[in-house]
Each structure stands twice: as structure tokens, then as C-alpha cells.
């Protein structure tokens, strides 16, 4: 049964109060295969081959047996890459590996699928294995902007795939949309939003195109064939903030909207600085007070998983409770409900005095009309504050007396 975001927040809080050991736990699986590279994408991915897929499964089996979750799992997210590139028998194998963990009764289990990789056989396997949420990477309904982004699926495929997803019985569906492609106007963006709403998904994620280094889009930027225009981006954001709530989608984070009861629990856990374990090359974990990122190379990752070998990490750090609290504020400010400093202090067993810097900073934002104080004393960013949330995050001070 789906619960409202508020009910889930309360559930998570109650678990926290019952003791740190009961924090919600997520699992993330990175499937690093894509047949082609989208022009805006900087994620680690490889062209699939039988040998590479075999290596991936061998590594995953070893990683899961070396780093099993220490308690029951509330959310699972299979992302990539393109998990849907796996054939039905490989999807089944992946799901069976995932399912060796102890899942909570009301678990959320999402998988990201690209429209062109979806078919009824794969959906049947996923449904039978217990997946209960599909996230489809639509990006745009316009063939012009599809080309501009280097996406390869024809627009018709989106409608066909969506119908198959519903026919297979999935009751929780997210669509990802991307805005800010070169040449895209507000009218184009409105058309994309209208077509998405017409399908009636349960959740929508809307992301601004970013120009990551080592992508075809970045090359176009450096050649002067594309440009970054923050004012135009702000208009796109603000348009969606008005349009989607007016069409039944409650905004709960800068880029995320959901019908009642369909907020993404995996993301809520992540933004709330709970714990998750990432499996697969380039997957990130936040677990037992540490953050780490697996090496973004299939062979090196596999070698590190073998008995008597050291796992290879690109990044690894231990965080103090103060650092976790700082990040909970940083991500919490992106959420519409805002943040409660006493709640975050309790979550990380910290004294309120440590937050005086942060409170002064937030009061200054209130004075500049970038934040407001809501009932129960929560600080919440205003629309103008949300537009500037990246800059606000950079300026957010550390906790200190
Ligand atoms: S956006 Fe997704 S499908 Fe496209 S290259 Fe990146 S990971 Fe692959």
C-alpha cells in the first residue's frame, strides 16, 4: 500500500527515535551498460557484451556476499546505465540476487528503464520478481529535442512502453523529463509537461540540462554552439512549479512531484541522510558513518571484489555527525516541507547550540525573502530561494559553537 510522504516522514522519524540502528536502509544497484551515449550524459557506462555482463554478475555476487545489508531493507533502486538493456533472463538473475536480502513488508523497489528497451517479457519478469515501481527516462516528447539531446528512442515508443507498463500491472510509475535543451522555448516545455500529465504517471522528475565535462553537450558549449542561460533555466523551473501542482502533482522537492502517496521513498531516504549501500561499478554508498564511491571501471571493480583483494574506491571518507547534519540541512532545504533544526539535531544526537551559525544564516535568508519560517518553526525556501538553492548550499556554514 502506498503511504503519503508525511506518513512516511513520520514513520522514518519514529524509527529514528527508537534508535539509530533502525534508520531506513536502501540498496542501489548500478547497471553500467548503454548501447549509445546520450550527449548530456556523464555517468559511467560501457557497451554491453556477453563477457562484460558475465563479469558484472560475478562481481555483484561477490560484492553482495562481502557487503550484505546488516538489517532489513526498505528501498531498492536499480539504475544505470540502462538496466533495461539486460535480457529477461539476466533481469531475472539480477532480481534474484537483490531479493536475497531481507526486504521490509512495505518495501519500494524501483528500476529505471529507457522506453526503447521496454517490452512485455521484461516487465513480466520484473513484476514476478517483486519490482513495484518503474521509472521511465522520457526526457522529452519532441523528436526535435530528442535529437538535440542525442537520445535514440522514437517518440511513439514512449506511448507504447507506458501502455505496456500499465498493462503489466505496475501501479507506481515515474517519468523523467529534461528541460533546457538548446532552442527549447517555454511553449515547448509546456507541451512536454502537458503530454506527460496526459499519461497520468504517479510521479514526475524534471531536471535541467547540465553541461558535464567530457560529454558531447559540453563540447557544443565550448564551441559556442550552446550556452548556459540561468535566467531562462529559472523560467523553466518556475513554469513547472506552477503547472504541475495545478494538474494534481504535489511538488515535494525542487525537481520532484508526486500524486498523493507516491513520493519516491528511496530519494527521501537519501536526502534525509539515512543509509544505503551501492553495488556495482561507480555506485555510491552511505553506510555505517562512511561514504564511498566504487571505482568506475568494470574490470577493476571486479578484481577488487575477489577474495583476499581490496575493493577499489574512487572516493572514501568517514563523516562526523556534524557533517551528516550539515548535509541533511543542505538537502532538506531543497524539499518543500523545509527543515526543522531540532529534528535534525535529534537525528544525529547533537546539541542545538551547534546549529547557531546555521540558524543565523537561515534568519538572514528570511530577511532577504529567500526563506520563510513555517508552522512548527520549519525553515522553508521561498520560490526565489529555490531558484538560488545551489548558491545557498555553497554558502551554508558548517556547524560550530
Ligand atoms: S542518459 Fe542514461 S541511457 Fe543515456 S547514456 Fe546516460 S546512462 Fe545511458
- Ligand 1 atom nearest the C-alpha of 80 is 7
In the reported structure, the alpha carbon of residue 107 is separated from the centroid of ligand 1 by a whole-number distance in angstroms of 26
Q: How confident is the model at residue 43 (pLDDT cuts 50, 70, 90)?
A: confident
Distance CA 320, CA 328 (A): 12
Distance CA 98, CA 61 (A): 10
How confident is the prediction for the chain on average, in pLDDT? 90
More confident residue, 220 or 374: 374
The pLDDT, as a whole number, for residue 211 is 61
- Which three cell numbers mark 198? 496526459
DSSP at 396: P
3: helix, strand or coil: coil
Stretch 20-33: mean pLDDT: 85
The pLDDT, as a whole number, for residue 216 is 67
Query: Taking the domain 5-271, which CATH number applies?
Result: 3.30.750.200
Annotated domain spans of the chain: 5-271, 339-395
- Which three cell numbers mark 21? 540502528
DSSP at 133: E
Name the β-bridge partners of 294: 313
Mutate to test the pocket of ligand 1, among 39, 40, 41 (most ligand atoms within 8 A of CB): 41
Distance CA 340, CA 338 (A): 7
Among 101, 114, 93, which Cα is nearest to 41's?
A: 114
Q: Which residues of 109-137 are buried (b: 16+ CB within 10 A; e: fewer)?
A: bbbbbbbbbbeeebbbbbeebebbbbbbb
Distance CA 344, CA 220 (A): 42
Nearest CA to ligand 1 atom 4: 38
Stretch 282-288: mean pLDDT: 96
Task: Indicate the pairing of strand 290-294 with strand 313-318.
Answer: antiparallel
Does residue 218 have its Cβ closer than 6 Å to ligand 1?
no
Does residue 31 have its Cβ closer than 6 Å to ligand 1?
no
- Which three cell numbers mark 17? 527515535
Does residue 210 have its Cβ closer than 6 Å to ligand 1?
no
pLDDT tens-digit readout, 316-360: 999 999 999 999 999 999 999 999 999 999 999 999 999 999 999
The pLDDT, as a whole number, for residue 13 is 43
DSSP at 186: H
Cβ(362)–Cβ(371) below 8 Å: yes
Mutate to test the pocket of ligand 1, among 29, 37, 146, 212 (most ligand atoms within 8 A of CB): 37
Q: Scanning the structure block, which residue is given the C-alpha cell 533472463?
A: 89
**46: Cβ–Cβ under 8 A, 6 or more apart, which residues?**
32, 33, 34, 52, 298
Q: How confident is the model at residue 16 (pLDDT cuts 50, 70, 90)?
A: very low
Is residue 374 pLDDT above 70, yes or no?
yes
Nearest CA to ligand 1 atom 2: 81
The pLDDT, as a whole number, for residue 21 is 47
Distance of CA 85 to the CA centre of its chain: 20
pLDDT tens-digit readout, 228-268: 677 888 999 999 999 999 999 999 999 999 999 999 999 99
Counting residues of the chain whose pLDDT is more than 90, the rounded percentage is 77
5-271 and 339-395 agree in CATH topology: no
In the reported structure, the alpha carbon of residue 43 is separated from the centroid of ligand 1 by a whole-number distance in angstroms of 7
Does residue 114 have its Cβ closer than 6 Å to ligand 1?
yes
Does residue 32 have its Cβ closer than 6 Å to ligand 1?
no
**323: Cβ–Cβ under 8 A, 6 or more apart, which residues?**
none
The pLDDT, as a whole number, for residue 218 is 61
Mutate to test the pocket of ligand 1, among 48, 81, 84, 115 (most ligand atoms within 8 A of CB): 81
Global pTM reads 0.90
Q: How confident is the model at residue 375 (pLDDT cuts 50, 70, 90)?
A: confident
pLDDT tens-digit readout, 92-147: 999 999 987 799 999 999 999 999 999 999 999 999 999 999 999 999 999 888 87
Does residue 82 have its Cβ closer than 6 Å to ligand 1?
yes
Helix (H) or strand (E) holding 55: helix 50-66
Does residue 113 have its Cβ closer than 6 Å to ligand 1?
no
Does residue 81 have its Cβ closer than 6 Å to ligand 1?
yes
Highest mean pLDDT: which range of 42-56, 139-153, 290-304, 372-386:
290-304
Phi and psi at residue 280, to the nearest 5°: 105, 160
Is residue 18 pLDDT above 50, yes or no?
no
The pLDDT, as a whole number, for residue 3 is 47
Q: How confident is the model at residue 213 (pLDDT cuts 50, 70, 90)?
A: low
Is residue 212 pLDDT above 90, yes or no?
no
Among 91, 93, 90, 116, which Cα is nearest to 35's?
A: 116
- Ligand 1 atom nearest the C-alpha of 42 is 6
pLDDT tens-digit readout, 177-209: 999 888 899 999 999 999 999 999 999 999 998
Q: Provide the CATH topology of domain 339-395.
A: Arc Repressor Mutant, subunit A (1.10.10)
Distance CA 182, CA 227 (A): 8
Is residue 10 pLDDT above 50, yes or no?
no
Does residue 2 have its Cβ closer than 6 Å to ligand 1?
no
Amino acid at each position: 500500500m502506498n503511504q503519503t510522504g508525511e506518513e512516511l516522514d513520520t514513520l522514518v522519524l519514529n524509527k529514528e527515535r527508537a534508535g539509530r540502528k533502525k534508520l531506513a536502509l536502501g540498496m542501489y544497484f548500478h547497471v553500467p551498460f548503454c548501447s549509445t551515449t546520450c550527449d548530456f550524459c556523464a555517468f559511467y557506462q560501457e557497451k554491453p557484451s556477453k563477457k562484460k555482463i558475465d563479469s558484472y554478475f560475478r562481481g555483484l555476487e561477490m560484492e553482495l556476499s562481502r557487503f550484505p545489508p546488516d538489517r532489513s531493507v526498505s528501498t531498492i533502486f536499480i539504475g544505470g546505465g540502462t538496466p533495461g538493456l539486460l535480457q529477461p533472463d539476466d533481469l531475472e538473475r539480477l532480481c534474484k540476487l537483490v531479493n536475497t536480502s531481507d526486504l521490509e513488508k512495505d518495501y519500494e523497489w524501483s528500476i529505471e528503464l529507457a522506453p526503447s528497451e521496454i517490452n512485455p517479457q521484461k516487465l513480466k519478469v520484473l513484476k514476478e520478481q517483486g519490482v513495484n515501481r518503474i521509472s521511465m527516462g522520457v526526457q522529452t516528447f519532441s523528436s526535435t529535442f530528442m535529437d538535440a539531446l542525442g537520445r535514440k528512442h522514437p517518440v511513439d515508443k514512449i506511448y507504447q512502453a507506458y501502455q505496456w507498463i500499465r498493462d503489466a500491472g505496475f501501479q507506481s510509475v515515474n517519468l523523467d523529463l529534461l528541460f533546457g535543451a538548446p532552442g527549447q522555448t517555454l511553449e515547448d516545455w509546456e507541451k512536454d509537461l502537458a503530454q506527460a500529465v496526459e499519461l497520468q504517471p504517479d510521479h514526475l522528475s524534471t531536471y535541467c540540462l547540465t553541461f558535464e565535462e567530457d560529454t558531447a553537450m559540453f563540447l557544443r558549449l565550448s564551441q559556442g554552439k550552446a550556452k548556459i542561460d540561468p535566467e531562462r533555466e529559472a523560467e523553466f523551473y518556475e513554469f513547472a512549479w506552477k503547472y504541475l501542482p495545478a494538474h494534481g502533482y504535489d511538488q515535494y522537492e525542487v525537481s520532484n512531484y508526486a500524486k498523493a502517496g507516491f513520493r519516491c521513498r528511496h530519494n527521501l531516504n537519501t536526502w534525509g541522510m539515512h543509509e544505503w549501500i551501492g553495488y556495482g561499478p561507480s555506485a555510491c554508498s552511505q553506510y555505517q558513518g562512511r561514504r564511498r564511491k566504487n571505482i568506475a571501471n568494470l574490470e577493476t571493480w571486479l578484481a577488487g571484489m575477489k577474495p583476499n583483494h581490496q575493493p577499489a574506491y574512487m572516493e572514501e571518507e568517514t563523516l562526523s555527525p556534524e557533517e551528516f547534519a550539515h548535509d541533511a540541512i543542505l538537502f532538506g532545504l531543497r524539499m518543500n516541507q523545509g527543515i526543522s533544526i531540532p529534528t535534525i539535531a535529534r537525528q544525529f544526537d547533537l546539541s542545538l547550540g551547534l546549529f547557531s551559525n546555521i540558524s543565523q544564516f537561515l534568519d538572514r535568508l528570511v530577511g532577504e525573502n529567500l526563506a520563510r519560517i513555517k508552522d512548527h518553526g520549519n525553515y522553508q525556501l521561498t520560490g526565489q530561494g529555490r531558484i538560488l538553492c545551489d548558491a545557498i548550499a555553497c554558502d551554508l556554514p558548517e556547524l560550530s559553537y
